[in-house]
C-alpha cells in the first residue's frame, strides 16, 4: 500500500496548494439540493471500531464517518467524534462532509454524459470549442484535448490565483481562464507529462458548459445528484456559519485543532467543492460498481464509462481516478482518489471486480487527518474476506 499512499499524497498536496488562495467563506451560504428525510442506514460495529481506533491513535482531528459498499448496497456505516471542536454536537452518519478533489470523478461523469450526447469528443480541443478565444491562448494550449485535461496531461499548473479571477457568474469566471491561465506557455508539452491540475478540471467542465449552455453546477445536479438520489449533495462548506448544524472544517497541522469555514473558491468547483453525506457519496460508489448504471438505469454508455477508467499506456490516472494495475486481493485493478481543501479530508477506494468500495471522510485537514483516513480505508479493506492489504 506504500506506493498507493505516496501517489495519493502527491495528489492531495497538489490540490491543497490552493490553501494559499483560500479565504474565509465571506458570509456565503452553502448551496444545497433539497434534502429528503434520511433513510435508515446500516450501522456497522466493525466500521465504528476502525474509526475509533484511528481517532484514538491520532487524537488530532474532531470527527469521521466511514462506510462500506457492496454492489448496489451500503452495507455498513459508522461515525465518531464531534462536528466542531469546542462544541458538544456529535458527528452523525447523515452529516455532510466536504469531498475536496473526490469531486473530480463526478465532474468527469458530467463530461462523459456530454460526450454521450454527441456534443463533445475526447479529442475535442480548446481552440475548437472556444474559437473566439483561440487567438488569445498561448499556441501550445490550442490543441489541448478534453482527454488530456481529464488525465492531467495538458501542461497546466496545479492552481492559479483563483481569488484574482474577474467577478461575474461562475461560468464567466471560468471562461476568463481561457485568456488568463492559458496566456503563458505550458509547463510541459501537452500529452508528454502528468501534472495534477485543478485548472485542467475546471476547463474540462467549462467545455461541457459551453456546448450545453448550462452551468456546471446545474449539470452535476442533473447528471449525478438527482439520478443517484444524492439529496444531501451541494457546494462549499456544509451547514451555516451561525450554528453547528453540520460539521465544520478544521485546521490540524500541529498539536492544536481549530474550526474554520475556509474553502476553495466557487470558480474551481469542478475540481473540488462538492459536499455530501457519506451515505449519499456511497451511491456514487455504487454507480461506479454498476459501471455507469444505477440499479438498472444507465447514466453513461459502456464505452464512455470504460474511457473514463482507462489511463493511457504507462499512466495511472484516468477520469477522476487513480487506476492501479492488477491487485491480487481485488481480482483486478482498483479505482481510488483522495481529496482535501486543507481543512477536510476524504478518500474512496473501489475494487470493481470484487464489487466493493470503502469510503471515509474527516472534518479536518493536514497530515494527521490524511494518515488516519488512509488507515481507516485499509482497515475497511481488511474486513473483506480474502482481502490482503
Query: What angle do helix axes 45-58 and 367-382 make, rounded to 10 degrees?
Result: 150
Arch. (CATH architecture) of 2-100+216-222+229-382: 3-Layer(aba) Sandwich (3.40)
Tell me how far apart the alpha carbons of residues 100 and 104 are, in angstroms, rounded to a whole number: 8
Sign of CA dihedral 285, 289, 291, 295: negative
Integer angstrom CA distances of residue 32 from 75, 150, 231: 26, 26, 9
Angle between helices 103-117 and 198-212 in degrees, nearest 10: 30
Residue carrying C-alpha cell 479530508: 345
b/e map 352-365, b = 16+ CB within 10 Å: bebbbbbbbbbbbb
Delimit the domains of the chain by residue range.
2-100+216-222+229-382, 108-212
**Residues 105/319, Cβ–Cβ less than 8 Å:** yes
pLDDT value of position 387: 46
Q: What's the confidence (pLDDT) of residue 20?
A: 40
**Predicted local distance difference test score (pLDDT) of residue 336:** 96
Strands (E), the chain: 31-32, 63-70, 73-81, 96-98, 234-235, 249-251, 258-260, 274-277, 293-294, 297-298, 322-323, 335-339, 345-351, 356-362
CA proximity to 64, closest of 389, 341, 371: 371
Q: What is the pLDDT of residue 23?
A: 43
Question: What pLDDT score does 33 carry?
Answer: 42
> Which segments of the chain have a pLDDT < 50?
2-3, 19-37, 387-389
CB 66 within 8 A of CB 47: yes
At 88, is the secondary structure helix, strand, or coil? coil
pLDDT of 37? 38
Q: Phi then psi for 79, rounded to 5 degrees?
A: -140, 155
What's residue 11's pLDDT?
61
Q: List pLDDT tens digits, range 99-136.
A: 999 999 999 999 999 999 999 999 999 999 999 999 99
As a whole number of angstroms, the distance between CA 243 and CA 240 comes to: 6
Position 19 scores a pLDDT of 42
Q: What confidence score (pLDDT) does residue 389 get?
A: 41
Per-residue pLDDT, 34: 36
Burial tier of 297 (Cβ tally within 10 Å: 0-12, 13-18, 19+):
exposed
Cβ atoms within 10 A of the Cβ of 15, count?
28
Amino acid at each position: 500500500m506504500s506506493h498507493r499512499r505516496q501517489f495519493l499524497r502527491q495528489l492531495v498536496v497538489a490540490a491543497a496548494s490552493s490553501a494559499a488562495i483560500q479565504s474565509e467563506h465571506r458570509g456565503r451560504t452553502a448551496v444545497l439540493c433539497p434534502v429528503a428525510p434520511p433513510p435508515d442506514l446500516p450501522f456497522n460495529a466493525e466500521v465504528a471500531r476502525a474509526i475509533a481506533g484511528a481517532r484514538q491513535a491520532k487524537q488530532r482531528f474532531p470527527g469521521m464517518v466511514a462506510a462500506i459498499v457492496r454492489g448496489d448496497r451500503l452495507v455498513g456505516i459508522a461515525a465518531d467524534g464531534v462536528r466542531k471542536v469546542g462544541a458538544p454536537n456529535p458527528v452523525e452518519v447523515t452529516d455532510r462532509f466536504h469531498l475536496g478533489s473526490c469531486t473530480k470523478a463526478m465532474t468527469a461523469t458530467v463530461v462523459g454524459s456530454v460526450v454521450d450526447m454527441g456534443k463533445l469528443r475526447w479529442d475535442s480541443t480548446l481552440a475548437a470549442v472556444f474559437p473566439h478565444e483561440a487567438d488569445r491562448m498561448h499556441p501550445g494550449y490550442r490543441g489541448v484535448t478534453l482527454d488530456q485535461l481529464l488525465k492531467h496531461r495538458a501542461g497546466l499548473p496545479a492552481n492559479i490565483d483563483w481569488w484574482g479571477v474577474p467577478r461575474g457568474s461562475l461560468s464567466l469566471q471560468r471562461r476568463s481562464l481561457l485568456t488568463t491561465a492559458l496566456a503563458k506557455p505550458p509547463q510541459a508539452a501537452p500529452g508528454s507529462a502528468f501534472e495534477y491540475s485543478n485548472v485542467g478540471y475546471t476547463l474540462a467542465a467549462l467545455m461541457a458548459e459551453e456546448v450545453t449552455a448550462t452551468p456546471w453546477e446545474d449539470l452535476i445536479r442533473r447528471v449525478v445528484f438527482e439520478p443517484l438520489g444524492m439529496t444531501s449533495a451541494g457546494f462549499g462548506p456544509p451547514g451555516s456559519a451561525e450554528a453547528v448544524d453540520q460539521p465544520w472544517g478544521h485546521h490540524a497541522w500541529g498539536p492544536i485543532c481549530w474550526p474554520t469555514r475556509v474553502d476553495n473558491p466557487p470558480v474551481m468547483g469542478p475540481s473540488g467543492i462538492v459536499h455530501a453525506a457519506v451515505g449519499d457519496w456511497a451511491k456514487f460508489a455504487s454507480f461506479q460498481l454498476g459501471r455507469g448504471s444505477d440499479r438498472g438505469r444507465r447514466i453513461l454508455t459502456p464505452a464512455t464509462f470504460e474511457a473514463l477508467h482507462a489511463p493511457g499506456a504507462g499512466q495511472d490516472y484516468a477520469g477522476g481516478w487513480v487506476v492501479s494495475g492488477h491487485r491480487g486481493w481485488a481480482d483486478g485493478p482498483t479505482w481510488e482518489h483522495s481529496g482535501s481543501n486543507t481543512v477536510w479530508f476524504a478518500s474512496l477506494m473501489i475494487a470493481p471486480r470484487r464489487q466493493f468500495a470503502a469510503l471515509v471522510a474527516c472534518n479536518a485537514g493536514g497530515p494527521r487527518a490524511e494518515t488516519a483516513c488512509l488507515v481507516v480505508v485499509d482497515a475497511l479493506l481488511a474486513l473483506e474476506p480474502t482481502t490482503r492489504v
